[in-house]
Amino acid sequence: MKPDPRDQKIEGARRSDDSAAGRGSEARADAAYRFLRNAILTNEIPVGFQATEVEVAARLGMSRTPVHEAMARLQEEGFVQILPRRGILVKGLAPADLLEIYDILIGLEGAAAERLAIGAGDGIAEVVQELEDQTKSMEIALAAGDMDAWADADEAFHDTLVTRCGNGRIQRLAATVSGQSHRARRLTLNMRPPPAQSGIEHRQIIHAIADADPIAAGNAARAHRRRARDQLVPILRRLNFSAL
């Protein structure tokens, strides 16, 4: 019988749980969270999937406690809904939801870019290089036609923008919504024109940060997210996606 790739992924989750076992319950919960979140983002666990905590824990070869903690985090980020006595339900994402999420990301990432530009000169060269490397990775992946690798590098860029800005509240707020936008963008990746413009816009953000120009950095980051929103939401509406 041909091996089911989902079983291979589950075995990977078990190994993550085993390696985390010596580092305490928090590490095991984080391993469960990362595995389940990635499975939802890549549609390995589809919208509408429902299971009890016991079933999910058994499937992953983990105890219920780390799975319960992982589910609580996923609910906070809007990926799942915890149903009393019935387990969890993987939630869909409607165009109206995505509009609200982008409103938040536009504000948060604009503020993050401004903070990075204000702090330019204080170890900022490392951050600028990191953002540049991620943008180069996007361009290499796009030229090779590897859209999954392009999406990975693009997400890394946006995550770096937020996590390196020095504001923990921006980071925590962005974490609750960025995954949902990543999921929508991944599921529609091949429905959109080739994203050559993204690399150009990323460099506008990078150059403004390097030049210590917070106004230009914030404006560039906000414009970049607005363009992504204005491209993505009409596609969902045109294809009559009520939820994804």
**Share of residues in the chain with pLDDT > 70 (%):** 86
The Cα–Cα gap between 129 and 95 comes to 35
**What integer pLDDT is reported at residue 120 of this predicted model?**
62
Q: For 158-189, how does the pLDDT look when each residue is reduced to its tens digit (9 = 90+)?
A: 999 999 999 999 999 998 888 778 777 777 77
| Structural domains for the chain | 5-90 (1.10.10.10), 95-238 (1.20.120.530)
Q: What helix, strand, coil percent values describe the chain, rounded to 5? A: 75, 5, 20
Which are the contacts of 117, defined by CB distance < 8 A and separation ≥ 6? 208, 209, 211, 212, 213, 214, 216, 217, 218
CA angle 110, 116, 118 (to 5 degrees): 100
Which are the contacts of 30, defined by CB distance < 8 A and separation ≥ 6? 20, 70
Closest listed residue to residue 221, CA positions, set 200, 207, 202: 202
Q: For 98-130, how does the pLDDT look when each residue is reduced to its tens digit (9 = 90+)?
A: 888 899 999 999 999 999 999 865 678 999 999
The total of other beta-carbon atoms located within 10 Å of residue 125's CB is 11
Q: For 16-62, how does the pLDDT look when each residue is reduced to its tens digit (9 = 90+)?
A: 444 444 446 788 899 998 899 888 877 788 888 999 989 989 988 88
- pLDDT tops 90 at residue 146: yes
Average pLDDT of the residues of the chain: 84
The Cα–Cα gap between 189 and 61 comes to 32
The Cα–Cα gap between 60 and 88 comes to 15
Q: What is the DSSP string of 83-115?
A: ETTTEEEEPP--HHHHHHHHHHHHHHHHHHHHH
**What integer pLDDT is reported at residue 235 of this predicted model?**
79
Q: For 183-202, how does the pLDDT look when each residue is reduced to its tens digit (9 = 90+)?
A: 777 777 777 788 889 999 99
**If you average pLDDT over residues 5-14, what whole number do you get?**
45
The Cα–Cα gap between 88 and 61 comes to 17
Q: For 75-105, how does the pLDDT look when each residue is reduced to its tens digit (9 = 90+)?
A: 888 888 999 888 889 887 778 888 888 999 9
